[in-house]
Chain A
Amino acid sequence: MPIDIDIAHVARLARIELSDAELAEHGRHCADILEHAAKVQALDTEGIQPTSHPLPLVNAFRDDVVTPGRVLARDVVLDQAPAVEDVYFRVPPALEDE
């Protein structure tokens, strides 16, 4: 069953700018892989609960306690940033308002 993918839309969702040639190649590979992966659809999973986690653990919480030792100094935080202005990270303007 060939899989039809709007690969340009997927790339936009994933915020990756690709050329038409790259889109075509990725689209082809993804379709191949998905066709193989679509095997999962052949299996009868009626009444089967999904497993999103391998272990039956629940309720892993932390207490509401401040851990000052893990707070990073501002110069350390900004040191790895591609662009900084004053005490802030700097980025190009946003276009969208969400």
Chain B
Amino acid sequence: MSARQTIRRAAAAMRDGSLTSVELTRAALKAASMTESQVHAYLTLDTEGALQAAEMADSELGAGDDRGPLHGIPIALKDNMVTKGIETTCSSRILSGYVPPYSATVVERLEEGGAVITGKTNLDEFAMGSSTEHSAFGPTRNPWDTDRVPGGSSGGSAVTVAVGSALGALGSDTGGSVRQPASLTGVVGMKPTYGLVSRYGLIPFASSLDQIGPFTRTVADAVDVLSVIAGHDPHDATSIPGSVPNLDAGLGRGLDGVKVGVVSEMQRDETEPAVRGAVANIIEQMEANGAKVQEVSLPSFEYALSAYYLIAPAEASANLARFDGVRYGNRVDGANVADMMSKTRADGFGAEVIRRILLGTYALSAGHFDAFYGQALKVRSLVRRDLDAAYEDVDVLVGPTSPTTAFELGAKTADPLTMYLTDVFTIPANLSGHPAISVPVGLDEAGLPIGFQVMAPALGEPTLFQVAEAVESIAAFDQEPELAGSLA
């Protein structure tokens, strides 16, 4: 097999006639058929729809109707983005069988861009989790070691890109749900600036933190996916008005003169030595490649996780109130409405979702609001203030994406708090709304991928991609799990 297939390579090949979208899509579907029984990345594989879209893309491209960088490219969607006519479940029993009557804005943009949507991927129920074990339809497994988790909550999307059952995928990142699984599965995963990508049609976990982002094999591919889905949406009041920054403005520019901050609080003892070593090695080489590296301290950093685990459940407790058995989804009958709703919700939600709803309800309730939710919002201000201050001195902040590589299934499910701690490095960017990306930089001694995180200020995507691409080329990580299908 020659070099790994990427969106950019495939797009070029489709335009010079050496590859068709149908061939590429068939290869992705074949990879799915070879790997799904072992990884369970997809909840719904839309073979027929994908092949139809691929045929359409081929005929359009043949006729010179070029819809851009994703035209004819197989893309998978996390199953918390609504797709008109295609079951959308959020990996929850309460929505099992639910077929939405409308599509999310990102789905419409992908379709307008000629992308081939392969199907819907597995996630932790309602995106609440860090391992994709909390799915009502069974866990997704890490293709590097199927006894291990792929991270989460967008584990299914990460794995499709890792095994080649899609060339790109969309996930949603509320506390690290794109970057952490990207890190654990050896792919690129990016969370854009809050408001850059429309949330309309993303079934929310925590509205002020959620942001849709791409999984790809390369940084340049992430630029391409983001360029198609980004931009103001009048149906999302939190979407940023005006034009999107020139996303590929920094590609190919290297690190010369770039000011890089290494976050002291991210060099923690709890972080696995292999991860610390790999990250330190990359930072050294960044400096060698012209970056100006300095240590940066974010004093509020250690409070970010606590604030997050109050804010996210609080918003979630309201966001998930609509699942009540009245208008859609599944119902368990009861003697009266309240009884029906209480039984429906107890039956339809998994334990982790119930836990977070209870947490959030408590944090918002009378008598506790100021001490918990109110205080968490102030801590959020402090986190943002610290980050803003840091970005006065540096262009980007760097560190590990996750303190560990992929852990074994079941290792953290018994103790929710341990699981929550896996998001400790990714959460600050969600609280601040800033963009961040995870780039694979190597494997640990067990052969498990390690991710390197780059963070930038709001709308700093061009610099973020510039640095991420430089890190990618320094690391030259080109390994694939043995399971992966060939997309060449």
Direct A–B contact present (CB less than 8 angstroms): yes
Q: Does B411 contact A (CB under 8 A)?
A: no
Out of A26, A49, A52, A89, name the residue touching B355 (CB < 8 Å). A26
A45-B379 in contact (CB<8A):
yes
A60-B384 in contact (CB<8A):
no
Count chain B residues whose beta carbon lies closer than 8 angstroms to a beta carbon of A: 75
Within 8 A of B (CB), among A54-83: 54-55, 57, 60-62, 70, 72, 76-77, 79-83
B337-A43 in contact (CB<8A):
no
Least Cβ–Cβ distance between A5 and chain B, in angstroms: 6
A39-B306 in contact (CB<8A):
yes
Bound together, the chains give a CA A12 to CA B361 distance in angstroms of: 10
Bound together, the chains give a CA A91 to CA B325 distance in angstroms of: 9
A38-B361 in contact (CB<8A):
no
Q: Does A87 contact B (CB under 8 A)?
A: no
Q: Contacts A36-B309, A80-B99, A94-B337 given: A29-B195 contact, CB under 8 Å?
A: no
Chain A residues with Cβ below 8 Å from B150 are none
A51-B377 in contact (CB<8A):
yes
Nearest B-chain residue to A95, judged by Cβ: B336
Chain B residues with Cβ below 8 Å from A49 are 378, 381
Report the contact-size class of chain A (Cβ under 8 Å from the partner): 35 or more
A91-B355 in contact (CB<8A):
no
Bound together, the chains give a CA A33 to CA B433 distance in angstroms of: 24
B416-A33 in contact (CB<8A):
yes
Chain B residues with Cβ below 8 Å from A32 are 416-417
Q: Contacts A30-B359, A54-B432 given: A45-B338 contact, CB under 8 Å?
A: no
Chain A residues with Cβ below 8 Å from B416 are 29, 32-33
Known: A45-B375, A45-B381, A51-B431. 11 other contacts (CB 8 A): A15-B342, A16-B346, A26-B358, A34-B363, A34-B372, A36-B306, A52-B208, A70-B102, A82-B331, A91-B326, A94-B337
CB-defined A-B contacts under 8 Å, sample of 15: A10-B365, A13-B361, A15-B341, A26-B355, A34-B359, A36-B305, A39-B306, A40-B376, A45-B375, A50-B374, A50-B377, A60-B237, A81-B328, A89-B327, A96-B338
Please name the 3 residue pairs, one residue from A and one from B, whose CB atoms are nearest each other, closest first.
Answer: A54-B433, A50-B377, A82-B331
